Amino acid sequence: MHVMERFSLAGRVAFVTGARRGLGKAFARALGEAGAKVAISSRDASQGEQAAAELRREGLEVMAVTGDVTSYDDVEAMAAAVESHLGPIDVLVNNAGIVEHKSTLEVSPDGWRSVLSVNLDGVWFCCQVVGKSMVARRRGSIVNIGSISGMVVNRPQWQPAYNASKAAVHQLTRSLAAEWAPCGVRANALALGYVSTDMSPAPTDPEQLRRWVEDVPMRKMATPEEVAPAVVYLASDASSFATGTVLVLDGGYTVV
């Protein structure tokens, strides 16, 4: 097999959560360009369909499903819809996530629960629901979107709930990898550094600019298009011997 053929996702079905914009949409586009049929999820039906339509205009086979990853019933319904329209899910990308920039003493019980519910429970529900089919078919690749915030503490923006949730995602990924490796199912995580999106543009505050950009050896924030190919790598046979890996893409931020 030619090396580039190992990156092909032709004939496979991918499901990306939280993909109506930003990183999720970039991941969906990359998976589609690699040959996969892609389903994207959103809590807003119209915005999800708008994103799917945009990707279809680019020549990709994309469908939108609507649901909340914090609801087990919604996750089951979304997975069933994807399988009904596209076929069994071969690639799961758990991208849906939220953040609350508050210091520890400012975080309310509801704020803590909200972040953990989306960032951790949502990943767990999707892994369990989709993983059941993958294990039964003895094939599949799960890519959980983690963060360098699961490895270091970001400053000066305090976000204890987010940091805790992403550290948990990394460890959950390792746990799934160890348990499901004999079943032909791989699980890896992508730990991203600072990425410039509509939700998280380059900062104008001098202190944040210093931390987010000047402290990065590459002296920049990434774009979604820069990091999306890593999802294709982890989803495809190019990474067939990788499981339990937390792949860091941060411009060198965590090495200094």
CATH of the domain at 64: 3.40.50.720
For the segment 112-158, what is each residue's pLDDT rounded down to a tens digit? 999 999 999 999 999 999 999 999 999 999 999 999 999 999 888 89
Tell me whether residue 202 is in a domain: yes
For the segment 149-182, what is each residue's pLDDT rounded down to a tens digit? 999 998 888 999 999 999 999 999 999 999 999 9
Quick one: pLDDT at residue 139? 98
Tell me whether residue 133 is in a domain: yes
Cα–Cα distance, 123 to 128 (Å, whole number): 8
Number of domains in the chain: 1
Cα–Cα distance, 17 to 125 (Å, whole number): 12
CB crowding 17-43: b at 16 or more within 10 Å, else e: bbbbbbbbbbbbbbbbbbbbbbbbbbb
Tell me whether residue 127 is in a domain: yes
Tell me whether residue 255 is in a domain: no
Mean pLDDT of 36-59: 98
Tell me whether residue 173 is in a domain: yes
Tell me whether residue 217 is in a domain: yes
Partners of 66 in beta bridges: 42
Question: Would you name the residues annotated as active-site residues?
Answer: 162
Tell me whether residue 206 is in a domain: yes
For the segment 69-109, what is each residue's pLDDT rounded down to a tens digit? 999 999 999 999 999 999 999 999 999 999 999 999 999 99
Tell me whether residue 254 is in a domain: no
User: Which of 211, 202, 99, 115 shows the shortest CA–CA distance to 155?
Assistant: 211
Please give the residue range of the domain that contains residue 124.
3-249
Question: Which amino acid is it at 113?
Answer: R
The SS3 of residue 146 is strand
